[in-house]
Amino acid sequence: MNSNIAIVCSGGDASGMNPALKRFVEYSYAKGLNPYFVRNGYEGLIDNLITPATYQDVSGIITRGGTKIGSARSLRFKEASYRTIAADNLRSHGIDKLIVLGGDGSFRGMERFYHETGIAFCGIPSTIDNDINGTDYCLGVDTALGVIRNAIDQIRDTASSFRRAFVIETMGRNCGYLALISAITSGAEMCLIPELPIDIHEFSGCYRSQIQKGRDYFIAIVSEALNSREVSEWFENELGFESRVSVLGHIQRGGSPSVYDRLMAYKFVTYAIDALLEGNSHSVICYNKSHFNFKTIDEVALHPHQLDPELLTLAREQFLPSHCQM
């Protein structure tokens, strides 16, 4: 008798989830497994929104952002009584293996769920913030960076047509990865992230010198953890530059998945299913230095995420006031 396996998306959506669902169905069948979808995240586990998945369910979804099966943040799943209901629902479908697309909070919940119920799981890091400890890459990041790149390039057209400073706010919670990579690759003049405290007043002399030498607009990329409005006001009050704030918001989560995110989705899911079949019962599949590896939930969730030191070195060389080109 074939074993039953399910997949669930938890927390914020990320482009790459739909390619992961497609690979999940196809590879499950290839491995003699019966695939199931859990709709609407952990809420769906509790509400028994668990259905068999077919080839038809994933036909054509590889080009779509978001997740076809929905996602959610579940407060109920934090309570033991609701986790018991979720386990009973899975057992009623004969499901003893679960793949979780989500972040460290989702993985912590699933770790507790595993120890209470014995239902095996494998986590796949999936968040555009790229803020999960233990992995260099999370599903959805490349697509989000592409969306941000397009937005910055278009805003630059307007910035260069007027004598203006544009402050562009990216997502990322308390992680500056999206802001930093976008600033470096878009040629921004300023980048402000939590990991690199900067007093913007120290830029005054340098920027005035640049203005005298012909600079007639500025692009500043700011992480959402900081205050974009204050930066905009500084450009106006300190440099006399008319300034605008563009908060990119949730457009960063959507969009057709990039080639890289589609490829990573296929690889993540393949490793996850193979791991569960090999008896790896409660781990997270991570990606480090171009290799996949498995880590325990403690390694992932109990340590703060830190930006790559090489990226921080680039940031210091490019964006610290002391390195500002006069």
C-alpha to C-alpha distance for 48 and 82, rounded to whole angstroms = 11
Which one of 3.40.50.300, 3.40.50.460, 2.30.180.10, 3.90.1150.10 gives the CATH number of domain 143-253+309-323?
A: 3.40.50.460
Q: What is the CATH number of domain 4-140+257-295?
A: 3.40.50.450
Helix then strand count (H, E) for the chain reads 12, 11
Per-residue pLDDT of the chain (326 residues; tens, 9 = 90+): 579 999 999 999 999 999 999 999 999 999 999 999 999 999 999 999 999 999 999 999 999 999 999 999 999 999 999 999 999 999 999 999 999 999 888 999 999 999 999 999 999 999 999 999 999 999 999 999 999 999 999 999 999 898 899 999 999 989 999 999 999 999 999 999 999 999 999 999 999 999 999 999 999 999 999 999 999 999 999 999 999 999 999 999 999 999 999 999 999 999 999 999 999 999 999 999 889 999 988 888 777 788 999 999 999 988 988 777 76
Assess whether the region 4-140+257-295 and the region 143-253+309-323 belong to the same CATH fold. yes
Alpha-carbon distance values, 180 to 130, 192, 205, 301, 316 (Å): 12, 8, 23, 23, 11
C-alpha to C-alpha distance for 139 and 129, rounded to whole angstroms = 10
| Domain coordinates in residue numbering, the chain | 4-140+257-295, 143-253+309-323
Contact in structure between 273 and 5 (CB atoms under 8 Å): yes
> Under DSSP, is residue 305 helix (H, G, I), strand (E, B) or coil?
coil
User: What's the whole-model pTM score?
Assistant: 0.94
Give the residue among 257, 270, 256, 259 at the shortest CA–CA distance from 23.
270
Pairing relationship of beta strands 95-102 and 4-9 according to DSSP bridges: parallel
> Under DSSP, is residue 323 helix (H, G, I), strand (E, B) or coil?
helix
Is the four-CA dihedral 57, 60, 63, 65 of positive or negative sign? negative
Q: Which residues are catalytic?
A: 129
